[in-house]
Structure 1
Amino acid sequence: MGLGNWYDENIVPRVIRCACSAPAIMKVRQQVVPLAAGQVFELGCGGGINQQFYDAQKVTYFAGMDPSPKGLDYARSAADGRGFQADLRQGFGEAIPFPAASFDCVVCTYTLCSVDDPAQVLREMHRILKPGGRLLFAEHGKAPDENVRTWQGRIEPVWKRLAGGCHLTRPISSAVAGGGFAVAPIGARYAPKTPRWAGWMEWGVGLKAG
């Protein structure tokens, strides 16, 4: 195993789990994840960070996917702690291994920044949702202020290498809308106590037409 592979497989999951558990991010998760109900699929479930926010009285079935074996270990441990019988699989969001119209709700938090093809991932999430189903999303990405976007573009090439392919310049709500969803925003802001180039967040609900 090369040093790069070792870093990606062993260090990056720990870095992501730590960074994605920052207080400002956890407050956003707390607004979004409890909205999940019925048959739920979580993309980027590695780390199990969202497990504490699911309402076990509302979730009837839980499945998830993540590319990181180490991240899935964390997720399985967290699911066991909640008493969930979870179907958690290793894989990538560009090819979700579930039939069309399988889920009432898809949860995607701080994940679209690091996928290879966000448009294809959004198409896949749209595909596996039932008509009238909801995508609950919370992401960081392209800032609304031009001076911040300039710094995002400068920093992104190095940032991607250190942070598991995380991008700083990807649009959020507009990308969800481009994936065929009707977007109902919940919030948008810069995370406090965070460099602005890394801190722009948007969260909301994407509705698949019924």
Structure 2
Amino acid sequence: MGLKSFWEAQVVPRMIKCACASPAIMDLRAGVVPLAQGRVFEIGCGGGLNQQFYDTARVAGFAGIDPSGKLLDYARDAAAQKGWQADIREGVGEDIPFESESFDTAVCTYTLCSVHDPAKVLSELRRILKPGGILLFLEHGLSPDGKVARWQRRIEPLWKPLMGGCHLSRPVTAPVQQAGFDVSQTGQTYMPGMPKWAAWMEWGAAMKRA
């Protein structure tokens, strides 16, 4: 295994799990994930960080995908500790391996930043949701501050190979709206204790538009 392959397979998953589990980020997850209900699908479920926040009284079934084998190990361990049945598979968001209109809720946290084709992923999430289904999203991305955004674009080419293809300058809420969702319950903030070029967060609930 070459250095690049080793980094991506072994180091990046551990860095992502650590970075995405900071107390401030977990607080944001705790405000979004419990809204999930019915049959739930989570894209980028590797790491299992969201599982503690699902309300088992509201969730009738849980499925998820992630491209990282190492992160999937963490997710399956988290499901075992929670003691619930979970259909967790290896896969990518551009080709979600589930039937159309299968889920009531889709959950997407800190995932759109690193997928290859965000528009295709959002199209797939819309496809697997039932009519009136809800997409819950929580992502970091492009700052509305022009000065910060310029720094994001400068740093991004160095950041991406270190952090598994993570982009700093992707917009968040607008692409969700453009993909055929009506967005409500939105929030946005700079995460305290982080450099501003990595700290802009947006979240919301988005209903699949007819």
TM-score, length basis structure 2: 0.99
TM superposition shift of 1:186: 2.8
Q: Distance in 2 between matches of 1:59 and 1:193?
A: 34
1:52 aligns to 2:16 (yes or no): no
Q: For structure 2, which runs of at least 5 residues remain unmatched after alignment?
A: none
2:176 matched to which residue of 1?
176
Q: Distance in 1 between matches of 2:148 and 2:184?
A: 25
Match of 1:73? 73
Q: Distance in 2 between matches of 1:123 and 1:60?
A: 24
Structure 2: how far apart are the matches of 1:199 and 1:154?
15
Q: Partner of 2:140 in structure 1?
A: 140
How do 1:107-186 residues align onto structure 2 when only pairs under 5 Å count? Answer: 107-186=107-186
Larger CA deviation: 121-130 vs 183-192: 183-192
Q: Give the Å deviation of 1:37.
A: 0.4
Over 3 Å off, 4+ runs: none
Q: TM-score, normalised by structure 1?
A: 0.99
Find the counterpart in structure 2 of residue 205 from structure 1.
205
Cα distance in structure 1, aligned partners of 2:40 and 2:21: 21
**Structure 1 residue runs without a partner (length 5+):** none
**Partner Cα distance (1:189, 1:131) in 2:** 30
Query: Take 2:188 and 2:123, find their aligned partners in 1: how far apart are those partners?
Result: 23
* Residue identity matched to 1:158: L
Partner of 1:94: helix, strand, or coil? Answer: helix
Number of residue-to-residue matches in the alignment? 210
Provide the identity percentage.
Answer: 60
Deviation by residue 1:134-184 (Cα, 9 ceiling, x = unmatched): 000000000000000010000000100110000000000001101110011
